Amino acid sequence: MKCDICGKKIELTFLNKPIGSYMRNSKGKKKIVCSDCQRTHSKEELKTKL
Would you tell me which residues interact with Zn ion (CB under 5 A)?
A: 3, 5-6, 8, 34, 37
Rounded to the nearest whole angstrom, what is the least distance from the CB of residue 2 to Zn ion in the complex? Answer: 8
By the 8 A CB rule, do 36 and 46 touch? no
Rounded to the nearest whole angstrom, what is the least distance from the CB of residue 33 to Zn ion in the complex? Answer: 6
- Rounded Cα distance, 32 and 50, in Å: 9
Whose Cβ is closer to Zn ion: residue 19's or residue 26's?
19
Rounded to the nearest whole angstrom, what is the least distance from the CB of residue 34 to Zn ion in the complex? Answer: 4
What are the residues facing 2 on neighbouring strands? 9
